[in-house]
Amino acid sequence: MMYIAEKTRYENMKYNRCGASGLKLPAVSLGLWHNFGTNGNFDTMMAMCETAFDNGITHFDLANNYGPVPGAAEENFGRILKKSLGAYRDELVISTKAGYDMWEGPYGNWGSKKYLVASLDQSLKRMGLDYVDIYYHHRPDPETPLEETARALDGIVRSGKALYVGISNYNKEQTIEIAKLFKEMGTPFIINQRKYSMFDRTIETDGLKDYASKNGIGIITFCPLAQGLLTDRYLHGIPQDSRIRTDGRFLKENAITEETLAKINALNEIAKKRGESLAQMALAWILRDGDITSVLIGASKPAQILDNIGMLNAPVFTEEERAKIDEICSK
């Protein structure tokens, strides 16, 4: 059956301007880091993407190495575009990245021009696209001159293979340095992607959040639920189908300490009083002050996406709630 998007898809989603650019991103974006590789069910992947778009999530975030295996998420997303979402390409913001290990040899990672250009060509082929909306350098390269990386990204935009440039995992100082190069070249650098949650506030302590807000740079955040800790999944033990049990690469069992559980329970009590799930409150907290452009969510089934976007109707945080959350998380 041919996919037809919901006519009401733009009625409830909020869209935020990305830095000082003309591009707006949905408050909630869908990341394809997990559950879109060779170990996933394709019909479920397609259902998740369609559910996301039907509810106003226009931004789909990928990277060359997302899998398993590397490249698999882009290949699967390319199949989804071909089967359904591709008819709405001009309504989609599609991003991908390069920077981590992708292929063997000295040209398969980091930030050289050779790697960045070759990787994007591969990504476009896997997804069946002529261009991506945002192309990110996925991590700082300690050896390649930053000017080479910046010029490569600038050249990619000028070639028409990407509309905007982003960086990921750059701290404040690194962001300032590359932003200066982009400004000199007139590159449409609009966004930094960083980890951020109630439990990980590095972008606050390193000053990036405040700097980006004041200098027209958008921020999109990943791991907003701390790999599932900021949900009700672990309130009563570790479920057998949890990420800890099925994929221990990113969340280890030793992360579930009594101290962490006490924090999760205390935060859950605040969420209940606000009339929302802990996950919804954690996502709403990310967007609480307008400094964050969009929050990336991951999902393993469509229902999780629907639950997460329920936070769009969350009540505004009171000063008392903010202070209490800060107190709990700082213990």
Q: Is residue 8 part of a domain?
A: no
For the chain, what is the radius of gyration of the CA atoms? Answer: 19
Q: Is residue 100 part of a domain?
A: yes
- Residue 285 is predicted with a pLDDT of 98
Q: Is residue 326 part of a domain?
A: no
Q: Is residue 194 part of a domain?
A: yes
Whose tokens are 């979402």? That residue is 85
Q: At what angle do helices 302-309 and 278-286 cross, to 10 degrees?
A: 60
pLDDT per position as a tens digit, 116-135: 999 999 999 999 999 999 99
pLDDT per position as a tens digit, 263-281: 999 999 999 999 999 999 9
Computed from CA positions of residues 297, 299, 301, 303, in that sequence, does the dihedral angle turn out positive or negative? negative
Helix H, strand E, coil C: the string for the chain is CCCCCCCCCCCCCCEEECCCCCCEEECEEEECCCCCCCCCCHHHHHHHHHHHHHCCCCEEECCCCCCCCCCHHHHHHHHHHHHCHHHHHHHCEEEEEECCCCCCCCCCCCCCHHHHHHHHHHHHHHHCCCCEEEEEECCCCCCCCHHHHHHHHHHHHHHCCEEEEEEECCCHHHHHHHHHHHHHHCCCEEEEEEECCCCCCHHHHCCHHHHHHHCCCEEEEECCCHHHCCCCCCCCCCCCCCHHHHCCCCCCHHHCCHHHHHHHHHHHHHHHHHCCCHHHHHHHHHCCCCCCCEEEECCCCHHHHHHHHHHHHCCCCCHHHHHHHHHHHCC
Q: Could you list the residue range(s) of the whole structural domain that residue 90 is in?
A: 15-228+279-317
We report the CATH number of the domain holding residue 34 as 3.20.20.100
Peptide bond into 132 cis (omega under 30): no
Q: Is residue 10 part of a domain?
A: no
Q: Is residue 51 part of a domain?
A: yes
Of 6, 9, 14, 3, the residue nearest 283 (C-alpha): 14
The pTM (predicted TM-score) of the whole model is 0.94
pLDDT per position as a tens digit, 217-235: 999 999 999 988 999 888 8
Q: Is residue 86 part of a domain?
A: yes
Residues in the chain, overall count: 331
pLDDT per position as a tens digit, 16-57: 999 999 999 999 999 999 999 999 999 999 999 999 999 999
Computed from CA positions of residues 36, 141, 106, 150, in that sequence, does the dihedral angle turn out positive or negative? positive
Q: Is residue 70 part of a domain?
A: yes
Whole-number mean pLDDT of the chain? 94
The total domain count for the chain is: 1
pLDDT per position as a tens digit, 155-204: 999 999 999 999 999 999 999 999 999 999 999 999 999 999 999 999 99
Q: Which residues contact 40 (CB under 8 A, 6 or more apart)?
A: 76
